[in-house]
Structure 1
């Protein structure tokens, strides 16, 4: 019996050793999947493919610049990347520089963890007017995402409406209203800092379709807004008695968040020394975006007033009262979620939901292909929930390797085949060591501005600095 167990253990180790594995995407989903695999398969090595020359995905380009503590997870990801068992291959776009079929031919296991990069639409008239902007683009702009860094926004309007009531909506409101001297100390992109320093925005209205019991932001985000220097606020609660009666049915985090809204709605901050204001407005459904006389720039949002029905306070029915009102504004930011895009026509893709069709991380009909994070679940949760998703997918991969479902055929060529293809196609892959040279340059530039780093936003410049640092 002991001999059998010994040979079984050796067989499993051989299977895990010879398996060639790559992960597409270097954000939290990709790194947490890699973390579980590397921890539980001591002989496994992984290639991580990223379309940008830099790693870390939404931690670098999605987390608000005034939340440096959230970005500390980069230290964990860096340790994984420098473990000697993960090779970062940056500046490679799957679907353009290499195909999904190329990866499947080169690797036993392919994990798709490339996130969500398409905006959701409201589907109402006026959505194409100037200064109607998606949250994704705006966040990318102030965080220095190369593809959004060239954007220009008209910040001369005094009133801005943000549609949506999640953490991203509050992030955007906070960035718009934070005193510029505070923003200067963060890693916000310089072009955004300069534009915001000239901003005339004084009032931000954060509008939601449902009520205070259904908001998607967290208590931490709300506390930051309440304490924001130089700002007064209004939280419009139409039926506080009903809300209070629902509290015993709620989870502890939801209860604490709702209690803070109830307390804050009745405790108005003094407006002395407050040149700006934000508001939380509930039970408003966007109906139409109104343009100016030239019909090319927004000057108002028409909303329908609704009320919620049903016994399920968590997922109530939204019922239109038929009443309408117009909220005057000069800019609208849509924080209503993102969708993923298929990077291959062969992928089984749910276009309505914007996710890959999968079961427990296994992509339907594509043996050896897995997906992790938002491309599998949609844009829900925070970094902690993405960690759980990544670890769960890692477990499934290990199960399939051990059970001989994947990695049992002819030995795959792995990275060598992909690097040969990239060379033939004149693609310049960036290694993690080269990224560290770029990282050092950004930190050095930041010192002159007295900020953590000054992000470089031109891809060609990124590559040149990375390569020069290792020449």
Structure 2
């Protein structure tokens, strides 16, 4: 019997488990270990709460999780409760599917001022991640600056701009829902150091900004390239740029009916965050593109008012003791998913934070092919029997998938009207709910 441990229960972890099931059949035991008592990682804590159709992919993972040869081992922290070295001694293969939950830092003066948040923290706040549920976003000011030109930046802007009615069918957590009710936001500025042809925003997410009840997007027509240049873009990017052109053409009479403006500030790079003990503004340098489409500063600067700054500039995988790491790329050092004998990585932990949720599926299948090549029929390791004995000896309170189902039912039962669930945001409350 082959014994495989997967660290992380997000999309990459479950696609890897699915691949191992299909390749090895009944001759494999798979333990999916997560430090939280609840599964699904990015699906639960990263996908925007108003994108319920995307979150529905968790039902596919649930089917895998309920298989006889797959276990969810929740509330177990690798590095605290069990080491990588110990896992390598118990399993034929250990796969790191930890994702990239840490923010890349914005390395400018003032980035440590109160009122500056990374997107992992801010998104985690409104999605109910236990690590970030207690942060206190600054929502009593009129101006928010969001640094980044990708879909996460769009998510942040959209959540700040939506009415409570628009958020009604989402699973945004109660503390965020209540805080947004009294938010004073009037303007959200999206800073992008390059131009419209270089955005990383997909048409679906971008198009949502044009259908908000109380908010209106603004694009300066002068930032747009000549329309003929759009023909050189990939179809998806062309659709996104077409939407930006539509935003630029919105008449002022229409804007007058909206109380929140979402302003796309292209060719703009933050160089300093200013304020006396808190964020009060962002000093921005105007940029231009060189022949290789890289941005460079022009020396022209201006200041944008800001009571809060959210940086959406990428993520990185946290290092683990004993595992080779590429600090420059924010991921584990690997060759096509192999880190060292019996140790592998998959998803963002392997590639860095690139690709969509679906990108993790072929990634998981590829790493399982490597595992099959390397471990053969297995080496008679103890696997889950050994892990159970070790965790019991250390007094670790393990949460199973059946326990998670009880937690989920409690969240569904606690939901406000119209919402699919009200997430627990404290680990102790999650664990207590399994006995309810």
> Please, what TM-score do these two structures have when normalized by structure 2?
0.97
Q: Deviations over 1:75-111 (max 9, x none)?
A: 1000000121201100000000000011000001000
Give the superposition deviation at 1:260: 2.0
- Paired with 1:147 and 1:241, the residues of 2 have a C-alpha distance of 42
Give the superposition deviation at 1:277: 1.1
Report the counterpart of residue 317 of structure 2 in structure 1. 340
Is the Cα contact below 8 Å between 1:233 and 1:268 reproduced in 2?
A: no
- Paired with 1:263 and 1:254, the residues of 2 have a C-alpha distance of 14
1:393 corresponds to which of 326, 342, 367: 367
Report the counterpart of residue 400 of structure 2 in structure 1. 431
Residue 122 (structure 1) aligned with residue 99 (structure 2) = no
Report the counterpart of residue 384 of structure 1 in structure 2. 358
Report the counterpart of residue 279 of structure 2 in structure 1. 298
Residue 187 (structure 1) aligned with residue 176 (structure 2) = no
Report the counterpart of residue 234 of structure 1 in structure 2. 218
Q: Secondary structure at the match of 2:280?
A: strand
- Paired with 1:168 and 1:268, the residues of 2 have a C-alpha distance of 27
List 4+ stretches of structure 1 deviating above 4 A.
Answer: none
- Paired with 1:128 and 1:307, the residues of 2 have a C-alpha distance of 27
1:290-369 to 2 correspondences below 5 Å: 290-291=274-275, 295-310=276-291, 312=292, 316-344=293-321, 346-363=322-339, 366-369=340-343
Report the counterpart of residue 134 of structure 2 in structure 1. 150
Give the superposition deviation at 1:377: 0.9
Give the superposition deviation at 1:240: 3.2
Q: Structure 1: any 5+ residue segments left out of the alignment?
A: 1-17
- Paired with 2:148 and 2:267, the residues of 1 have a C-alpha distance of 11
Report the counterpart of residue 229 of structure 2 in structure 1. 246
Q: Structure 2: any 5+ residue segments left out of the alignment?
A: none
Q: Deviations over 1:369-424 (max 9, x none)?
A: 1100111111112111122222222222223234x7xx3x4x21111111111111
- Paired with 1:238 and 1:384, the residues of 2 have a C-alpha distance of 36
1:204-215 to 2 correspondences below 5 Å: 204-215=188-199
Q: How many residues align?
A: 434
Give the superposition deviation at 1:272: 4.1
1:395-434 to 2 correspondences below 5 Å: 395-402=369-376, 407=378, 409=379, 411-434=380-403
Is the Cα contact below 8 Å between 1:21 and 1:47 reproduced in 2?
A: yes
1:67-106 to 2 correspondences below 5 Å: 67-106=51-90
Report the counterpart of residue 6 of structure 1 in structure 2. none
Residue 452 (structure 1) aligned with residue 420 (structure 2) = yes
Q: Secondary structure at the match of 1:45?
A: strand
> Please, what TM-score do these two structures have when normalized by structure 1?
0.90
Deviates more, 1:145-154 or 1:19-28: 145-154
Q: For the pair shown, which has the larger CA radius of gyration, 1 or 2?
A: 1
Report the counterpart of residue 281 of structure 1 in structure 2. 265
Deviates more, 1:75-84 or 1:383-392: 383-392
Is the Cα contact below 8 Å between 2:35 and 2:78 reproduced in 1?
A: yes
- Paired with 2:94 and 2:279, the residues of 1 have a C-alpha distance of 45
Give the superposition deviation at 1:287: 0.5
Give the superposition deviation at 1:239: 4.7
Is the Cα contact below 8 Å between 1:51 and 1:93 reproduced in 2?
A: yes
Q: Secondary structure at the match of 2:56?
A: helix
Closer, same or farther in 2 for the Cα pair 1:237/1:273, shift >3 Å? closer
